[in-house]
Structure 1
Amino acid sequence: MTRNLVAIFLVSLFTKTAVSAPSILNVSSTQWDALNVSVGGRLHAATPFALPCFSRYNNVNVSVDEAACRIIQANYTSPTFRLESFSANMQPQYETCMNTDSGCLLDSNNPGNPLATQGTSCNQGEISPYYIDVGVAADVQAAFQFAKQTGVPLSIKNTGHDYMGRTRQPNSLGIWTHSLQTMVYHSQFTPAMCDTSYRAITVGAGVTFGQVYKFADDNDSMFIGGYAQTIGASGGWMMGGGHSILAPTYGIGVDRVVEIKIVTPDGQLRTANACQNSDLFWALRGGGGGTFGIVIESTQMVEQRIPIQVINMTFTPTDENLQEFFEIAVNNSVDWAEQGWGGHINRAPPGLIYVNPRLSLDDATTSMSQITAFAQAYNGTSAIETLPSWYAFSSRFIAAEEAPVGNLLALGSRLIPKALFETAADRARIVAQLVNQTAELGFPYIGVATPIGFNYTAGTTSVTPAWRTSLWHLTAGTFWSYNSSVAEIRATLGTVHDYVHEQLTALAPDSGAYMNEGDVYESNYEDAYWGPNYQRLLAIKEKYDPDGLLDCWRCGKSLALVSP
């Protein structure tokens, strides 16, 4: 280890307040050097993402790096830029310690705003002082051994898409899986010790949807995944459920995975599938990322490359047309789901984007005639067309319109059951909820991305069974500013929590929620995220991690621990 690495570590150490600090203090430079040797020199020091723009770091004067700062300011809200930095999260509040207002943030609305940096210290926040850029499974095994010997906690980061802050922990040793970039296509893949074969693709833990969508397309295939190009295909998205706008036909992420290679906290590299380590495989299919081990790669089923029908509709909401739009969306949702439509009702721009792998263009046009007529009546836009493949859709509607990141977002959600769409009175309740939500929190984002039409074998995954009976994933969220106080941040999080509890949960009290996009203060997280599967997940957690080496918000020793 170089002297610079030690110096950075010591400077960052004394700015944090965390229960793990004594463990960090007790680790000698000799121990860090030994760890670095054991992982082939892949141990690195980490400083905050925006540090080059600040003249003080952990309350010590430093030099501003003008050139590096300009690059960061220009790309502060770019997901592809943040993807390449261990220190960056897509939602940067989790780079900070919100309880103590300790972090290093720019103004996401104007990254060049000098008020964000002048007279402000850039502090380490929750960024791990050290991280391992994992290249092979042995690196993870070394990290577990080090954590057990020293007491230093571990945190796991893949791409940084995390609304819960589970990828960060103060004073931890970071495990970064970004460099695990293998992709292998299998015309027939047979999981170890099994008999059934699948058309599949094996992806390393660092592979993103943008990469695997193209790779699948090059192999005349379609990979079922999420809506952001920079989400990891094998990480928390898949292990937390993994919704997709193709899910109504093909299932969610936990339905697609057939084998996982994972290093468990006892240091074993295990193969988990339906025939080997099957209890672990079940837990990984819904129990959440960062809970039972560190995934090295996963193998997931793919489909034949086929044309996709797409509708892209936008309008300008007004007092005159808002309720009518929601009435059309709600009243047609059961029929649309049965026909194979999945998609998003968008907040920016307001409207919807739906896809359908089942219908012809003529049938799709007929199916969506009511929403098209609505758009025409209110000077909106509506286009229905056939695209040659899912990759063509993702290139045009996902990659080209990738949402900016770098904002500070409080989010909550609820799965809305199909049963609530089946009577006029209940449909009216949903419409009223959406109109009221628009008035209070802005136009809602709704994921029409549940596996309602997928032929699921009961009990094979550990997500809440509410996924199987729901049509919508309804979210509620709001933002705060880079310079908000601790009290203001708590108030914002509290507003979303109260809204989810008093409105969304009240609308569907017997349903559940998507843990990857849930309220960070979900009052009944055990039932909301896992339902009857919770107790079994606890037992499996204890079996594979008896020393509690993996520990994070809603995914640690008891699947629920410290405040974010």
Structure 2
Amino acid sequence: MSAALLHGAMPTAALARGVTKADVPGRTRARPGTAQWPGAREWQALRTQTEGRLLTLTSPFAHGQSEAVRLEAVAGIKNPYYIGDNPALTQTSGWQDAWSSRVSAHAVAAVHAADVAAAVKFARRHNLRLVVKGGGHSYFGASNAPDSLLVWTRAMKEVTMVDAFVAQGCPQASSQPAVHVGAGAMWADAYAEVTTRGGRYVQGGGCTTVGVAGLVQGGGFGNFSKGFGTAAGNLIEAEVVTADGEVRIANACTNPDLFWALKGGGGGSFGVVTRMTLRTHALPAFFGAVFGEVSASSNEAWRALVARFVDFYGASLFNEHWGETVTLKDGKTLKLSMVFQGLDDAQARAAWAPFFAWVKERKEYSFPEPTIMAIPARHFWDSKFFQKHAPGFITVDDRAGASPDHHYWTGDGEQAGWFIHGYQSAWLPARLLAPERQALLVDALCAAAAQWDVALHFNKALAGAPKWALDATRNTAMNPAVLDAFALVIIAGGGGPAFPGMPGKAVDEARARQAATRIRSAMDAVLTAAPNAGAYVSESDYFQARWQDAYWGSNYARLARVKGAVDPDGLFVVHHGVGSELWSADGFTRVKRASA
């Protein structure tokens, strides 16, 4: 057990003292074949120290693999749980002209914090590129790198509820209901334990296969963030292995600067989180959803429809009850995929009645009967309930021995192993909902939708949330722009899995680049209504030019100071992560020193 755990709070500056000048790595990290690369005896020592949990990795699509292995993987990658269970794979297979999924040389399949600490110390000692994979959903490829050592936390998936948790070093009066979640747990694991079996709610992600730790470190939105805030705002405590290889506790009372940075400062930049403790909430009586599509017969009718919806949203849905997505699709269709909490079926129908009545009164719109349903909240992530009452909504992990809790929303299956062509996001400020500004917003949205589908994610922005949720998120490292935004607009596109060596899956690069150009043009149209808008670090453009400001705004300077204290030599480097401007794009070569 580390001194930090034994003695409580340690000033952030002291975290750097374990790194001496003798430990400072050279300007270029070790690669196989170089003198610095560990020899067989050294790798064996790490294997022994981790009780055999050091793995040598090979892609199932690598040259020399048997046809049976390759075909099994082609079938398996349709299932995101299969991808997550293979340390050689990632949930995104690459991004055109940005990165491609490449296998680490070795991985430590950690089962407890001591394994992680051993891997971190080994990487520092031998000047290795270190990457971390929990859920493996990073769009920027942060959970993989060739010639690297991977810390793989998938097995650390314990989820335990606590009735009265007090963070280390904090007063007893701060006791509150909470849940401990291991670094390898996915939101399917957390929701099953907390909601289905425990009858409470934990603010997490909408995609059940996303890793808990990674989502929280990015900030973290879920279906009901308008009601319960960000996942980062609900973090009470984290156990984390820092760059000196020590296991530390971080919370509001112990190592508070590190704690703040972990709440939205981006995964993979400040250490390896091994466990998180999150606040739980009383469960509403009902969760529910609204699905439907409205199509317009002309450009004039289309603009009128978008204008009517924007006005309707601002008047009736801009509150803590409503979240998820409305998509401007094919330049003529409004696709509704909304969720709600704290309302029953009748209340949800009443909320939408004015908009639906307006549409039905006009012959220029095609409008099949929408679906509106409320279910007992305890069953919202209950796979058995959905298999019985609404089997099409979910897909279960049907592999032998799979957890019965493991399912995913069927629509999310399209992202299993996907290859990104282009991806843009921007927060839309709530002032655009003011009557005198709505025309500007509508014009921008319609211009964008003429080029690419535009999705408005109302749950991924916090304007309209209750005060306590806003205050909690204000005390995180996220860009403060999230507090004043009513929606995150996402414009994105991609193709099917394209892992290197995958049989019959070559990327049409010209088509991918054309898509990326149209996606950028569509976002440019949106930004005429919201110039210099912030973006969500976990879902944004790999090529974001002003990423420090877009992701963290005024918080970046403080994040950089914390980074300099806890990881002065840049052991943890991810693309467009805090401090990454000091390193080459692949994280192997230091290009400049941090200023004193």
With the shorter chain as reference, the TM-score category is 0.7 to 0.9
Which residue does 1:115 correspond to in 2? none
Which residue does 2:11 correspond to in 1? none
Q: How many pairs are equivalent? A: 509
**Structure 1's 354 and 495: CA in aligned 2 closer, same or farther, altered over 3 A?**
closer
Q: Deviations over 1:106-135 (max 9, x none)?
A: xxxxxxxxxxxxxxxxxxx62101111111
**Structure 1's 210 and 329: CA in aligned 2 closer, same or farther, altered over 3 A?**
farther
**Structure 1's 324 and 197: CA in aligned 2 closer, same or farther, altered over 3 A?**
farther
- Superposition TM-score, scaled by structure 1 size: 0.83
Which residue does 1:216 correspond to in 2? 194
Aligned equivalent of 1:386, options 374, 395, 418 = 374
Q: CA RMSD in A?
A: 2.7
Which residue does 1:167 correspond to in 2? 143
Which residue does 1:420 correspond to in 2? 432
CA contact (8 A) 1:209 1:225 kept: yes
Q: Which runs of 5+ in 1 are unaligned?
A: 1-17, 52-56, 104-124
Which residue does 1:150 correspond to in 2? 126
Once the two structures are superposed, the pairs formed by residues 409-488 of structure 1 within 5 Å of their partners are: 409=420, 410-424=422-436, 426-444=437-455, 446-452=457-463, 453-455=465-467, 456-457=470-471, 459-479=474-494, 482=498, 483-484=506-507
Shift of 1:148: 1.5
Shift of 1:326: 2.6
**Structure 1's 360 and 544: CA in aligned 2 closer, same or farther, altered over 3 A?**
same
Which residue does 1:279 correspond to in 2? 257
Shift of 1:319: 4.2
**Structure 1's 37 and 63: CA in aligned 2 closer, same or farther, altered over 3 A?**
closer
SS in 1 for 2:55: strand
**Structure 1's 238 and 492: CA in aligned 2 closer, same or farther, altered over 3 A?**
same
SS in 2 for 1:366: helix
**Distance in 1 of aligned mates of 2:495 and 2:374:** 40
Report the residue type matching 1:171 in the other structure. D
Which residue does 1:65 correspond to in 2? 67
Which residue does 2:87 correspond to in 1? 86
Which residue does 1:262 correspond to in 2? 240
Shift of 1:347: 7.3
**Structure 1's 286 and 400: CA in aligned 2 closer, same or farther, altered over 3 A?**
closer
**Distance in 2 of aligned mates of 1:534 and 1:394:** 39
Which residue does 1:353 correspond to in 2? 337
SS in 2 for 1:315: strand
**Distance in 1 of aligned mates of 2:181 and 2:74:** 32
**Structure 1's 370 and 25: CA in aligned 2 closer, same or farther, altered over 3 A?**
farther
CA contact (8 A) 2:124 2:571 kept: yes
**Percentage of pairs with the same residue:** 24
Shift of 1:23: 6.3
SS in 1 for 2:552: helix
**Distance in 1 of aligned mates of 2:461 and 2:313:** 12
Report the residue type matching 1:476 in the other structure. I
Shift of 1:447: 4.4
CA contact (8 A) 1:245 1:447 kept: no
CA contact (8 A) 2:191 2:381 kept: no
SS in 1 for 2:70: helix
**Structure 1's 393 and 515: CA in aligned 2 closer, same or farther, altered over 3 A?**
same
Q: Deviations over 1:213-246 (max 9, x none)?
A: 11012111112211111011122x1111101221
SS in 1 for 2:138: coil
Q: Deviations over 1:508-537 (max 9, x none)?
A: 125311000011111111111111110110
CA contact (8 A) 1:251 1:450 kept: no
Which residue does 1:203 correspond to in 2? 181
Report the residue type matching 2:377 in the other structure. S
Shift of 1:303: 1.3
Which residue does 1:525 correspond to in 2? 547
Shift of 1:76: 2.5
CA contact (8 A) 1:552 1:562 kept: no
Shift of 1:466: 0.7
Higher relative contact order (CA 8 A, sep 6+): 2
**Distance in 2 of aligned mates of 1:462 and 1:406:** 30
- Superposition TM-score, scaled by structure 2 size: 0.79
**Distance in 1 of aligned mates of 2:323 and 2:143:** 29
**Structure 1's 274 and 339: CA in aligned 2 closer, same or farther, altered over 3 A?**
closer
**Structure 1's 358 and 172: CA in aligned 2 closer, same or farther, altered over 3 A?**
same
Q: Which runs of 5+ in 2 are unaligned?
A: 1-26, 387-392, 395-407, 499-505, 587-596
